[in-house]
Amino acid sequence: MEKIAIQVLFCYFFVVLLLLSGTAISQEVDDEIEFNYEEGGENGPSKWGELHSKWSACKNGRMQSPIDLLNERVQVVSHLGRLKRSYKPSNATLKNRGHDMMLQWEGGAGTLRINGIEYVLQQCHWHSPSEHTINGQRFALEAHMVHVSQDGKIAVVGIMYKIGRSDSFLESISDHLTQVAGSNERETVVGVIDPRGIKIGSRKYYRYIGSLTIPPCTENVLWTIVRKVRTVTREQVRSLRVAVHDESDTNARPQQPINLRIVKSYRPDDENQNP
C-alpha cells in the first residue's frame, strides 16, 4: 500500500512539473539577442524556427502571427461582447529585451476576462512599425498587452498607432525611456504604473487564434486587435527604438499566412442596428 502511495505521489509531481514546464515554454523569450529582424540574415525571421528546436513553430506552425486583417475575410459578429478589463496599478520594471522595450508588472496588474477565463496582465511591449495590418495598411506602432491565465493560456490585446498627436501613456513613461536610452542597464524599476492609462477608445475589435510574434512563436494565442487606430508622435516611436540599442529601425515580424483560420470582427448590436 505504501509503495502504491509513493507511486501516486511521484506521478502527481511529474504531472505538475510537466504543467509548469509547458507554461514556461509558452512565454516569450526574455533575452532576444539570439535572433533579429534582418530579412535574409542568419538569425532573421525566416530562420527563427531553425535556431532552436523549441522554436520550430516559427517555421512549421500553421497558426502564426501577425496577419493582415482583411475586411473581405472577416466575419462580423455581435456575440463576442465587450472587453471586460479590470486593470489596477502595480509596481513595474522597464526591460530592454534586446529588440523591444517591455514594461513588466510585478504579480500582474489586473485581469482581462474572455469566455469566462481570467487572464492576468503581465506585460506590455511595442513593435514598430505595426506587425498586424488592416486591409494591407501598416501603421507606425503596435502595442501588445500580454495576459496569461492560471493554466498558462495566453491572450494578447494589440493596439495600433498612426503618427499624430502624442500618446499620453508613452508620455508618462518618457523619462524612464530616456533613462534607459542613456544607460547600459537592461532593467529599470519604474515604480507604480497604471495600465488603465493605455487607452483603447473603441468597443470594436478583431479576434482570431494566432501565435506569439517572437520566439518561441507559441500557437493557440487568443488575439484581440482593437479596431480604432490611435495616435503617437514620431519622437515617441523613435524613443522606443533608441532605448533598445540594437541599431535597427524595426522590430516587426513579417506577416504570416492566414491558412484556414477565421477572423471575427466584433460590432455591438446597437451599432449593427444603427450603422
> Cell match 529585451: residue?
97
CA–CA separation, 204 and 78 (whole Å): 10
**Angle ∠(129,210,69) on CA atoms, nearest 5:** 55
Burial class (CB in 10 A: 0-12, 13-18, 19+), 273: exposed
Q: Where are the alpha helices (DSSP H) in the chain?
A: 2-26, 48-51, 57-60, 168-172, 174-181, 234-242, 269-273
H or E element that contains 114? strand 110-114
CA–CA separation, 123 and 258 (whole Å): 26
> Which has the closest alpha carbon to 219: 17, 1, 64?
64
Instruction: Please tell me which residue in 52, 99, 127, 147 is annotated as part of the active site.
Output: 99
For residue 129, whether the previous peptide bond is cis, meaning omega lies within 30 degrees of 0, is yes
- 144 a catalytic residue: no
List, by residue number, the catalytic residues.
Answer: 99
